Structures are given as structure tokens and as C-alpha cells.
């Protein structure tokens, strides 16, 4: 799948999950800028993510895997933030937004991928965020609350500046995300190493 097809699949997944509020302000789904592809080591887990995706999301995750080489994958952090091991199992790709092939100044949409055994430490950002896991069961922490497992298809909402963290077990996580408000390209603030 290309970025337009993936964005349409993400939109359908958010609708199916009852997270319609995440869809406000989506631009028309057509490519508006050329984005050079780049791949990260975490893309190697996408085969396992397809195998672990529920039937409802398997085509979307397979489309991400099949189109991964044509997307620009990025990392917000460096070795000094969370270490080299974290970077091997972490990456994201933006479909819609300031950096994605579908331009938008008001919303950023893409995928987060975490490999097995990755702890994404507590962080916060100005943008409001809705995550929708589509493969893998990860544990999520919101604010000062305890870690709790979140299944694929369960939308997770983070208001502006709410600290949040996640950690994976034996399987990788693929989660679609929507950011809105604030600087859509801002680096998250690390708020602790819990």
C-alpha cells in the first residue's frame, strides 16, 4: 500500500474503533509532497506484526509491511535519550502532517512501531494524541496510573501534556496515531524513566 491507501485504512480503523473524534480535520487523501524513503531496523518486525494482527487489522498491517520500503521512517530520539537498544526497536512513519506525503498543518497521522521487549519511557507533548493499536498487546501507562494491557482496537487518548509510556512483551506493537494541536513536529519531553 502507498501512503494514501494506508491513511484511508487508518481512517477506517479509527471509525471501527469508535474514535471518530480523531478524524476531525483530516485533509483530502492525496499526495501533496515527495518524501524520500528511509527504513529503520525496527521495520524487520513487521512480518511478526502481520502474523500477530487480529483479522480486522491484518490487511492494514500487511499493507504497512509491504509499503514500508517506500515510506520515510523516523526517530524522535537519539542514543543519549534512551540508548542504542531502544533505537533498534523504535520507529515511526508519518502519512499525514508537516513531514508526511499528505500535507496538513493541523493533524499528523502515522504509525508507531515498537519491537519486542521495548520500554518507551514516560514522555509528554503539547499535541493531543489518540493511539489505536492494530497489532500486539502492549502495556500503557497514562499519567501516574499503573501500566495496563491494551488490546488491538482499543483507542488510547492522551490530552495535551499528559505523561504516557508503553512497553512491549514478546511481540511487537504497531499502533496508528493521530496528533492534533501545538507543534506537530515537536520532540516530546522526557518526564521520567519509570
Identify whether the C-beta of residue 13 lies closer than 8 Å to the C-beta of residue 5: no
d(CA 70, CA 122): 30
**Residue 189 is assigned to a structural domain of this protein:** no
Any idea what the CATH number is for the domain that residue 97 is in?
A: 2.60.120.10
Please provide the average confidence, as pLDDT, over all residues in the chain.
94
What's this model's pTM, rounded to 2 decimal places?
0.95
Give the tens place of pLDDT for each residue, 77-118: 989 989 999 999 999 999 999 999 999 999 999 999 999 999
Tell me whether residue 132 is in a domain: yes
The answer to whether position 125 is within a domain reads: yes
43 lies in some domain: yes
Q: Are 97 and 174 in contact (CB under 8 A)?
A: no
Residue 193 resides in a domain? no
**Residue 190 within any structural domain of the chain:** no
The whole-number pLDDT of residue 175 equals: 98
The DSSP H or E segment spanning 60 is helix 58-67
Q: What is the pLDDT of residues 42-66, one digit of tens each?
A: 999 999 999 999 999 999 999 999 9
- Residue 193 pLDDT class (50, 70, 90 cuts): very low
Residue 183 has pLDDT above 90, yes or no: no
Mean pLDDT, residues 157-175:
96
Which pLDDT value is given to residue 31? 84
- SS3 of 155-184: CEEECCCCCEEEEECCCCEEEEEEEECCCC
CB-CB contact of 64 with 174 (8 Å): yes
Determine, yes or no, domain membership for 110. yes
The 10s digit of each residue's pLDDT in 106-156 is 999 999 999 999 999 999 999 999 999 999 999 999 999 999 999 999 999
How is residue 152 written as a grid cell?
488491538
Is 191 contained in some domain? no
Please give the angle made by the CA atoms of 60, 182 and 31, to the nearest 5 degrees. Answer: 40
Q: Does residue 194 carry a pLDDT above 50? A: no
For residue 32, what pLDDT band results from cuts at 50, 70 and 90? confident
- Domain range enclosing 123: 3-182
The domain total for the chain is 1
Amino acid at each position: 500500500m502507498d501512503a494514501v491507501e494506508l491513511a484511508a485504512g487508518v481512517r477506517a480503523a479509527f471509525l471501527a474503533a469508535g474514535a471518530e473524534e480523531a478524524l476531525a480535520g483530516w485533509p483530502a487523501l492525496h499526495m501533496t509532497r515527495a518524501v524520500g524513503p528511509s527504513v529503520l531496523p525496527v521495520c524487520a518486525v513487521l512480518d511478526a506484526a502481520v502474523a500477530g494482527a487480529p483479522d480486522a487489522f491484518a490487511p492494514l498491517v500487511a499493507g504497512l509491511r509491504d509499503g514500508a520500503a517506500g515510506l520515510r521512517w523516523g526517530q524522535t530520539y537519539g542514543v543519549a535519550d534512551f540508548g542504542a537498544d531502544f533505537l533498534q526497536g523504535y520507529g515511526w512513519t508519518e502519512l499525514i502532517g508537516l513531514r508526511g506525503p499528505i500535507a496538513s498543518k493541523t493533524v499528523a497521522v502515522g504509525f508507531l512501531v515498537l519491537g519486542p521487549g521495548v520500554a518507551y519511557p514516560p514522555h509528554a507533548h503539547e499535541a493531543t494524541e489518540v493511539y489505536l493499536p492494530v497489532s500486539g498487546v502492549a502495556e500503557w501507562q497514562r499519567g501516574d496510573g499503573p501500566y495496563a494491557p491494551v488490546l488491538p482496537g482499543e483507542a488510547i487518548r492522551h490530552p495535551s501534556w499528559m505523561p504516557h509510556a508503553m512497553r512491549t512483551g514478546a511481540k511487537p506493537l504497531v499502533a496508528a496515531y493521530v496528533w492534533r494541536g501545538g507543534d506537530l513536529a515537536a520532540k516530546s519531553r522526557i518526564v521520567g524513566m519509570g
